[in-house]
């Protein structure tokens, strides 16, 4: 079991929105789980299972970011959505190749995922973070409050799915 903060995470990745930072940490942790499965020779089934979780969680995370950017009138919204769509397409393509046995989950795939995640947060996500820090978090706070109220019945935070 890893320590609380996933390997690779540092405060440099913080976008200043706690819920988004927690989701980013979860993405790092999922990538680390793939690394652990490969390193422990747990087999492709274990790696594929974690890869499936990573793809699904990434979709949920991107939907949250896009909703936040849209409701907050972030000027780079459309361009950021294209980046999200391109990554999902790439990862789903890799996932299909892995599931069909055409390629194995490898350290090269891990390297790609870690690099993409790091670069995306440090460059692209920091742009909307600067925008929200400059223009206030009011839209996000209201949206988060309404989402929290809706999730009380499930006794979960809306941004924490597992």
Candidates 30, 25, 35; CA nearest to 56 is 30
CATH superfamily for 15-154 is: Hemerythrin-like (1.20.120.50)
Which of 12-21, 99-108, 143-152 is predicted with the least confidence, judged by mean pLDDT?
143-152
As to burial, measured by CB atoms within 10 angstroms (0-12 exposed, 13-18 middle, 19+ buried), residue 96 is: exposed
pTM above 0.75, yes or no: yes
Q: What is the mean pLDDT of the chain?
A: 79
Residue 125: both structure tokens together = 């996500």
With a cut of 70, say whether residue 143 has pLDDT above it.
Answer: no
As to burial, measured by CB atoms within 10 angstroms (0-12 exposed, 13-18 middle, 19+ buried), residue 101 is: exposed
Q: Encode pLDDT of 43-78 as tens digits.
A: 677 777 888 888 888 888 898 889 888 888 899 999
The domain spans of the chain are: 15-154
């Amino acid at each position: 079991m890893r320590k609380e903060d996933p390997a690779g995470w540092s405060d440099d990745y913080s976008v200043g929105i706690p819920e988004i930072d927690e989701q980013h940490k979860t993405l790092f942790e999922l990538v680390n789980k793939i690394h652990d499965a490969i390193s422990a020779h747990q087999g492709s089934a274990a790696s594929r299972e974690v890869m499936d979780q990573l793809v699904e969680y990434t979709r949920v995370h991107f939907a949250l970011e896009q909703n936040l950017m849209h409701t907050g009138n972030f000027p780079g919204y459309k361009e950021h959505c294209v980046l999200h769509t391109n990554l999902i397409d790439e990862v789903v393509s890799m996932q299909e190749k892995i599931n069909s046995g055409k390629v194995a989950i490898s350290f090269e795939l891990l390297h790609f995922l870690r690099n993409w995640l790091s670069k995306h947060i440090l460059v692209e996500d920091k742009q909307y973070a600067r925008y929200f820090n400059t223009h206030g978090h009011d839209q996000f706070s209201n949206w988060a409050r309404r989402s929290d109220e809706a999730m009380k019945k499930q006794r979960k935070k809306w941004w924490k799915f597992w």
